[in-house]
Chains A and B, each alone.
Chain A
Amino acid sequence: MKKVFIFTRLLYLILAVLSFYLLLISRSGEVYTVWQLLHPVFMPVFFVTTALLVAIILSSEAIECKLVFIIIHSIISHSFFAIIFPAGYIGFQQNALGITRRIFDNTSPHGWGGTVENIVIRIYNWFDGDNFQSVYSVISARIFSVDVFWSHLLQAPMLWGIFIPTITFMITKTLGGDEKIAALASLLGSAFPLLIFLGAISVPNSLGFIFFLGSLYFFLKYLTSPESKYTRLMLIFTFASFLSHFLTGFISLSFLLLAFSLKKYEAEKAGSPSSAKLLLFSFFILSTSILPFALVYHRIFSPTTTHFTMNKIYEYTTTELLGQFVLGEYLYYPPHVILIYIAGPLIAFIWVIYKLYTTRNQKTSSNNISVHTLFFFLGYLMLCIDYRILKIFMINVPFNEERIWIFRALISVPLVALAINDLPTFFRRTTSKIASLKPHLSFPTSFTNAKKSPKASTRPTLSLFLMMNVLTSVVLAGWITVSVYYAYPNYSPLQTTSYELEAVKYIDETTNKSYVVICDVWISFAGQMIVGDQNPRAYYFSEFDPLGVALFTKMKDDPSPEVMMEAMNYTNSVVAYFIMTKEEEFAFQTRLGEAEYNHIIQEAQQNNLQTYKTFSYGGEEKLRIFCHQLT
């Protein structure tokens, strides 16, 4: 092995370990955003690590080594929430952990919602993404003998970090990229802020995207390989994608239809080109309409009210409508952030159009590539149309429409790498047109075969090649670092704190009767993580439950045993707790301010409510639990 490779491997590993260490020492019990307490040296180290990794990818290092390094890098990029925050990113992933906890504790037989009386709803619940995601968290918790809290929090960063780069590598290779470019593609997933964010939170949708990308790889293999195993594999991955989340399931199904129709189109286009084109067009329309119609008919199983409407068009001004049509939600972002979010997909779109144009008449060896390119183009177009239908012509969509962009980002990653590979060739062609000005200027034809240039190449070519490699490393590392910076929110409410978790654990350990907790939505998340969602023995109101909100408001206004009795009657509990947390004045203050906190304590003491326990952080009281039980 070359000495230089030993040195770069060691250096990279040292930098990766240092990055993990810096993340670990940034962990805090009370924090708003990852940037608030992140060690100041981390981002420079991350940038250098990434630049070194790009340089390794562009070198002739063994492909296994490159992929292992990319996986390590990917895990680091997706671990910010899990490492810095005491309980991951606040919100839905904690709710998902609440459901997982119930399955882990065996208090939810037949899966979440698996015991409801209505058989149709029960079957619908079986296919709920929470059940499928819980399987992974629960099985890994049992086999590794760890608490489900950890297996759940680390699930997305680990699985995403390992499999998204691997599948992207395979897809890029199938699209015609060589190993170097495929490795570059597997790193470029970190240049898309949406992908970073979703790979950092353990929600069913994250898992769904992994299986969606897996299905995409097998669609490509199915299109050009005669082996029947790829048909079975793409079907099974589509099924897993559907089990993970209905959104990824329906998009996988749309891509499946596209793949079927494209294969038929390829087989029939020589015989009857017009009917083949018509078939392809019909299937494209069908594929595009699957998601909107699935959302509308979702109301059969779930109380959603998604429907088509023209109202939004009338509500927007012409400028707003155009802005929404072109940029969607990004319309309201600052220009530089828009650029970071759309740079990758835009490059991919331009490249795919360029490739379709340049390969339109090629029929022999590059036929596979043009089929794949056409498949990607149709998929990309389908996602763009679906997004606009959901954004402009539908209301009450049960998720943020921008989630469609994540599919677009996933299919853009390999295309961006291929575009980067073609960049020198493109420049060469462009410069050759002005060759009369500088006849000695000679670019390498691509990053991959530049080394194979004959020795006759002039010295300027070599220095240009070196300069381009260094420049590429720096530019790509900069792009990835900036994307990671914008992927993690810069403004957030106070995350679940260590003392909130301690309080919830303390109550559960010290109470052997059934109890109910009156609290705000933030404590409710902490409660769900530790005792499970809607646990009848240890009841925390769900964040959507208006009764829970009403009881908390009543306790804030008049902290009395009567309100706690009301909660106990509702849940048939024997003990009731009231938890409140104090937060310093801050732009995103979500807990109680100091004055209100002290006022409630005073009122509660006047009403003879017993303090059960107080919790402090940084030498200051931060949380107080009041208790009342049936006598």
Chain B
Amino acid sequence: MEKAFRLKKVEELIVRDEKFLFTMISYFMILIISMNSIFSLSVALGIIASLIFFLINILFLGHTLFEKEIPFLRFMLGSLMLLLFLGIIGWAILIIHNLDIIRVTIALCVLAGLSSTMNRLKARREKQGPK
């Protein structure tokens, strides 16, 4: 029970995204992912950075679109939305140019920007209250 409560606190902290802290962390992870792809090629570093990136953006999307669901389902549906947006953004970039490391970085940046903006808009709507 206490563990679930703590996890909920962490989720709230991330989706509050004060001073864009978690958006910045998300962008920092993209930087690590790109550097890792270009230079060191460490699978472990790639997985860790990607998981942090995914976690932040999944929580943003889950909170924005499926707030009424229980936390686990919110997380899973957020993952599904992330998968969908990643695919469509990546596909558009592939069609425009290709999917080299730079373009994959651009795709991730667009995705991070999109989910952060959606999360912000949702928070703003919540502040304004129901019309």
Give me the interface of A with B, judged by CB distance under 8 Å.
63-64, 67, 103-104, 106, 108-111, 114, 126, 131-132, 134-136, 138-139, 142-146, 159, 162-163, 166-167, 169-170, 211, 214, 229, 233, 236-237, 239-240, 243
Contact indicator B80/A167 (Cβ below 8 Å): yes
Shortest distance in angstroms between A417's beta carbon and chain B's nearest beta carbon? 17
Contact indicator B50/A144 (Cβ below 8 Å): yes
Contact indicator B99/A143 (Cβ below 8 Å): no
Contact indicator A143/B94 (Cβ below 8 Å): no
A138-B90, A143-B104, A170-B73 given; 14 more Cβ-contact pairs under 8 Å: A63-B72, A64-B71, A103-B98, A135-B94, A139-B107, A143-B49, A143-B53, A144-B47, A145-B37, A145-B41, A145-B42, A236-B84, A236-B88, A237-B84
**B47 surroundings in chain A (CB, below 8 A):** 144
Pick from B46, B70, B77: contact of A143, CB under 8 Å: B46
Contact indicator A229/B65 (Cβ below 8 Å): yes
Contact with A along B45-62 (1 / 0, CB 8 A): 111011001000000000
Please, which residue of chain A has its CB at the minimum distance from the CB of B72? A64
With A135-B99, A143-B37 as contacts: A162 and B90 at CB distance below 8 Å: no
Q: Provide a sorted-by-A list of 11 A–B residue pairs whose CB atoms are within 8 angstroms.
A: A63-B72, A110-B96, A135-B94, A136-B83, A142-B104, A144-B43, A144-B47, A145-B36, A169-B73, A239-B88, A240-B87
Contact indicator A109/B97 (Cβ below 8 Å): yes
Number of interface residues of B (CB under 8 A): 39
**B65 surroundings in chain A (CB, below 8 A):** 229, 233
With A143-B37, A170-B73 as contacts: A138 and B84 at CB distance below 8 Å: no
Determine if B100 is an interface residue (Cβ-Cβ < 8 Å). Answer: yes
Determine if B112 is an interface residue (Cβ-Cβ < 8 Å). Answer: no
**B20 surroundings in chain A (CB, below 8 A):** none
**B91 surroundings in chain A (CB, below 8 A):** 111, 131-132, 135, 243
**B80 surroundings in chain A (CB, below 8 A):** 163, 166-167, 214
Contact indicator B77/A138 (Cβ below 8 Å): no
* Majority SS at the chain A contact face: helix
With A135-B90, A166-B77 as contacts: A110 and B46 at CB distance below 8 Å: no
In the docked arrangement, what's the CA distance between A333 and B73, Å?
Answer: 40
Determine if B79 is an interface residue (Cβ-Cβ < 8 Å). Answer: yes
Most buried by B among A103, A104, A131, A145: A145
**B87 surroundings in chain A (CB, below 8 A):** 132, 135-136, 240, 243
In the docked arrangement, what's the CA distance between A131 and B45, Å?
Answer: 27
Shortest distance in angstroms between A461's beta carbon and chain B's nearest beta carbon? 32
Contact indicator B77/A134 (Cβ below 8 Å): no
Determine if B33 is an interface residue (Cβ-Cβ < 8 Å). Answer: yes
Instruction: Give 4 nearest A-B pairs by CB, closest first.
Output: A135-B90, A145-B46, A64-B72, A166-B76
Contact indicator B97/A110 (Cβ below 8 Å): yes
Task: Give the number of A-B contacts (CB < 8 Å).
Answer: 109
**B43 surroundings in chain A (CB, below 8 A):** 144-146
Pick from A106, A110, A114, A145: contact of B100, CB under 8 Å: A106
Shortest distance in angstroms between B52's beta carbon and chain A's nearest beta carbon? 11
Shortest distance in angstroms between A162's beta carbon and chain B's nearest beta carbon? 7
Contact indicator B104/A111 (Cβ below 8 Å): no
Shortest distance in angstroms between B87's beta carbon and chain A's nearest beta carbon? 6
Contact indicator B90/A139 (Cβ below 8 Å): yes
Shortest distance in angstroms between B110's beta carbon and chain A's nearest beta carbon? 12
Please, which residue of chain A has its CB at the minimum distance from the CB of B90? A135
Contact indicator B46/A138 (Cβ below 8 Å): no
**A126 surroundings in chain B (CB, below 8 A):** 95
In the docked arrangement, what's the CA distance between A568 and B108, Å?
Answer: 42
In the docked arrangement, what's the CA distance between A240 and B65, Å?
Answer: 18
Contact indicator B72/A67 (Cβ below 8 Å): yes
**A135 surroundings in chain B (CB, below 8 A):** 86-87, 90-91, 94, 99
**B73 surroundings in chain A (CB, below 8 A):** 166, 169-170
Interface residues of B in 30-46 (CB under 8 A from A): 33, 36-37, 41-43, 45-46
**B13 surroundings in chain A (CB, below 8 A):** none
Please, which residue of chain B has its CB at the minimum distance from the CB of A136? B87
In the docked arrangement, what's the CA distance between A59 and B81, Å?
Answer: 30
Determine if B109 is an interface residue (Cβ-Cβ < 8 Å). Answer: no
Contact indicator B33/A143 (Cβ below 8 Å): yes
In the docked arrangement, what's the CA distance between A163 and B72, Å?
Answer: 13
Shortest distance in angstroms between B96's beta carbon and chain A's nearest beta carbon? 7
Contact indicator B99/A63 (Cβ below 8 Å): no
Contact indicator B50/A110 (Cβ below 8 Å): no
In the docked arrangement, what's the CA distance between A131 and B86, Å?
Answer: 13
**B21 surroundings in chain A (CB, below 8 A):** none
Please, which residue of chain B has its CB at the minimum distance from the CB of A112? B94
In the docked arrangement, what's the CA distance between A300 and B99, Å?
Answer: 29
Please, which residue of chain A has its CB at the minimum distance from the CB of B32? A143
Determine if B101 is an interface residue (Cβ-Cβ < 8 Å). Answer: yes
**B42 surroundings in chain A (CB, below 8 A):** 145
**B107 surroundings in chain A (CB, below 8 A):** 139
Shortest distance in angstroms between B40's beta carbon and chain A's nearest beta carbon? 8
**A143 surroundings in chain B (CB, below 8 A):** 33, 37, 46, 49-50, 53, 104, 108
In the docked arrangement, what's the CA distance between A103 and B100, Å?
Answer: 8
Most buried by A among B41, B84, B98: B98
Shortest distance in angstroms between A303's beta carbon and chain B's nearest beta carbon? 23
**B33 surroundings in chain A (CB, below 8 A):** 142-143
**A142 surroundings in chain B (CB, below 8 A):** 33, 37, 99, 101, 104
In the docked arrangement, what's the CA distance between A146 and B47, Å?
Answer: 10
In the docked arrangement, what's the CA distance between A63 and B72, Å?
Answer: 9
**A138 surroundings in chain B (CB, below 8 A):** 90, 99, 104
**A104 surroundings in chain B (CB, below 8 A):** 99
**A110 surroundings in chain B (CB, below 8 A):** 94-98
With A63-B72, A135-B87 as contacts: A109 and B98 at CB distance below 8 Å: yes
Contact indicator A159/B83 (Cβ below 8 Å): yes
In the docked arrangement, what's the CA distance between A431 and B65, Å?
Answer: 46
Shortest distance in angstroms between A70's beta carbon and chain B's nearest beta carbon? 11
Most buried by A among B45, B65, B90, B108: B90
Contact indicator B98/A240 (Cβ below 8 Å): no
Please, which residue of chain B has its CB at the minimum distance from the CB of A138? B99
In the docked arrangement, what's the CA distance between A108 and B97, Å?
Answer: 10
In the docked arrangement, what's the CA distance between A432 and B70, Å?
Answer: 39
Shortest distance in angstroms between B35's beta carbon and chain A's nearest beta carbon? 11
In the docked arrangement, what's the CA distance between A114 and B96, Å?
Answer: 9
